[in-house]
Amino acid sequence: MIIIRGRNLYPQDIERTTEQAHPAARAGRVAAFAVPDPAAGERLVVVAEVRETLDVVPDDVAASIRAAVVREHEVSIGDLVLTGASELATTSSGKIMRTAARARYQDGGFPAWSPGARAASQALAAQLDGSTL
């Protein structure tokens, strides 16, 4: 349960809204949780894994997610973290570990997502593997 300004919110509902807000958001790969905020008491944080494609604009993904959460839940996201694949820890049954996501967020541990970064790295690795040193 997330409590923002006296409202009870279910993280699963916010996660589902986030997944459906933009095609680049990966289904089942979103974590919603609250962190302490000195000014507001609690602040909503959403960490979303994003599909690695070259034609996705991060600002468009973020705007779609933020608008959908406000529209569906009448609450603003305090911080939205877009990250690459496999950054969110899961249980052995594949469920997102929100507590681990919150701890990693508070430690500043999620890398920023850059469209096409993985594809570019893989292309460079393939090029280097094909060359003789």
As given in the structure block, the two tokens for residue 113 are 């997502």
Question: Edge-to-edge strand order for the sheet containing 79-83?
Answer: 25-37, 41-50, 79-83
Question: If you average pLDDT over every residue of the chain, what do you get?
Answer: 88
> pLDDT tens for residues 31-40?
999 999 988 7
Which residue segments constitute the domains of the chain, with CATH numbers given? 2-130 (3.30.300.30)
- Percent of residues, the chain, with pLDDT higher than 70: 84
In sequence order, which ranges of the chain are alpha helices (DSSP H)? 11-21, 58-73, 98-106, 117-130
Beta bridge partner(s), residue 11: none
At residue 55, the pLDDT reads 80
pLDDT in tens, 78-95: 999 999 999 999 999 999
DSSP, res 13 = H
pTM: 0.84
